[in-house]
Amino acid sequence: MVDDASAAREASGDQAETERQDPETKASPKLTLPAFGFAADLLKKTPEDTPVAEPEPEPEPEPVMTTSGIDIADPRRIFAFADSLERNAADLAPQAAPVRLETWVAFRLAGETFALPVEPVREVVRVASITRVPHAPTPIRGVTNMRGRVIPVIDLRLRIELPQADLDRASRVIVVSSRGRLLGLLVDAVDQVIHIDLEKAQPPPDDVMTVQSDYISGVYHLEDQLILLLDIDRALVIHDAPHVDMADTAAQGSAHSGSAADEATAGPA
| Structural domains of the chain sorted by starting position, each given as residue range(s) with its CATH number in brackets | 101-235 (2.40.50.180)
DSSP, collapsed to helix, strand or coil, labels residue 224 as coil
Asked whether the beta carbons of 253 and 246 are under 8 A apart, the reply is no
DSSP string, 76-134: THHHHHHHHHHHHHHHHS--PPPP-EEEEEEEEETTEEEEEESTTEEEEEE----B--T
pLDDT at 247: 42
Average pLDDT of the segment spanning 26-40? 57
pLDDT at 195: 93
Using the predicted structure, report yes or no on whether residue 171 has a pLDDT greater than 90: yes
Average pLDDT of the segment spanning 73-78? 70
Task: Give me the chain's average pLDDT, please.
Answer: 74
Residue (of 120, 126, 173, 184) closest to 151 by Cα position: 184
Using the predicted structure, report yes or no on whether residue 13 has a pLDDT greater than 90: no
With a CB cutoff of 8 Å and minimum separation 6, the contacts of 209 are 216
Q: Is 204 or 14 the better-scoring residue by pLDDT?
A: 204
**Tens digits of residue pLDDT in 200-253:** 888 887 776 666 678 888 999 988 889 999 999 988 888 765 544 434 434 444
Average pLDDT of the segment spanning 27-50? 57
Asked whether the beta carbons of 159 and 225 are under 8 A apart, the reply is no
Average pLDDT of the segment spanning 180-203? 92
